[in-house]
Amino acid sequence: MMSNIKYLDLYYAAYGSNMNLEEMKKRCPDAKHEGTGTIEGYELLFCGEAGRAYLNVRPNSAKKVNVCLFKISENDLKSLDEYEEYPKLYGRSKCDVFMDDGSIKQAFFYEMDTKYDVMRPTESYYKRCEQGYIDNDIDTLYLKQALEKSTK
């Protein structure tokens, strides 16, 4: 049986709450989980405003960010854009994802507008992100470091 779902050429690299597989399935029901990897030259930070801080990545040549890669449909992209408040809160950037299986895939990710400062997230948002790391069997070290930076 052929599917009518049209998938995009690029993959989506999730690094925050969209790594949480249960949430991602609700948000983007057509998404296909392609595995995990890293994007290089970025660091993970919580940014935003008081009471509204989310995971973000900022350029840092000495760092890397763990991601979960999804192949998505056009409907999924619309849903993600709405969830990420694109283009108001987050923009889209392209990257190479160095997959854990040794391959390299081109993808896009959401990058928060630079006007937002490092800020502490709510406990519930942090827990949703942490579950995504657990879902994908990724060490939570970088997530914990991002939280530590948000308290300073």
Q: Which amino acids are annotated catalytic?
A: 84
pLDDT given at position 3: 47
State the Cα torsion 78-64-131-32 to the nearest 10°. 40
Question: What's residue 2's pLDDT?
Answer: 40
Which domains does the chain possess? Answer: 7-150 (3.10.490.10)
In this predicted model, what pLDDT tens digit does every residue of 83-126 receive, in sequence order?
Answer: 999 999 999 999 999 999 999 999 999 999 999 999 999 999 99
Average pLDDT of 53-67? 96
Mean of the per-residue pLDDT values of the chain:
93
Q: Which contacts (CB < 8 Å, 24+ apart) does range 122-131 have?
A: 122/51, 122/53, 125/17, 125/53, 125/54, 128/17, 128/20, 128/23, 129/16, 129/17, 129/19, 129/20, 129/55, 131/20, 131/22
At 39-58, the pLDDT tens digits run 999 999 999 998 899 999 99
